[in-house]
Amino acid sequence: MSEIADTVRTLLAEGRGGVLEWVARDHGLSTLEVAKLLPEETRVIAEDMDAASLLDDLHTWGEVFLIIQNRGLVAEIVTEFPTYTIARDHFNFKGETAFSGHLHVDAIKAVACLDRPFASRRSLSVVFFDEHGESIFKVFVRRDAERNLLTDQVEKFEALSARLAA
């Protein structure tokens, strides 16, 4: 693992890594393992956190860019993060948004706030990981018409990142 980790760490530090899931697949790692190899200044990862408070926080961000990705699909949704109720051990997402469904309350095992370049631009995301170290979903800070990150969401991202780091 040490040699693979060194290779991946170098790719990521040089900005040549690209999509973390692709790097993970190409090197036989989980996406969370790859995230942990990002330069320290670009990541905050928490493995013991209150998932409900994080979901509550995301609901206050306004419209976000939500990505759900697996081996055969990348679903991109621009929507407000929904509210939820908890019943039968699930977060039941509801409301007037384009995103609804159910997530087991114990499914989230780690969360990462990532501040890294993508396509030559700063990109900010909150990634929720499962017990296998794979992404359940990602929430990205949106951009305005000029492709600049939305200032209010950047502030909320930085506050969430600081809270996870504490």
Domains of the chain listed by start with CATH number: 40-165 (3.40.1570.10)
- Statement: residue 131 has pLDDT above 90: yes
- Among 103, 104, 99, smallest CA distance to 81 is for 99
The proportion of the chain whose per-residue pLDDT surpasses 90, expressed as a percent, equals 66
This prediction's pTM: 0.93
pLDDT of residue 66: 94
Tell me the mean pLDDT in the region 116-121. Answer: 83
Q: What is the pLDDT of residue 124?
A: 97
Q: Looking at per-residue confidence, does 45 or 70 come out higher?
A: 45
Q: What pLDDT is attached to residue 14?
A: 80
Buried b (16+ CB within 10 A) or exposed e, 140-161: bbbeeeeeebbeebeebbeebb
Are the beta carbons of 108 and 138 closer than 8 angstroms?
Answer: no
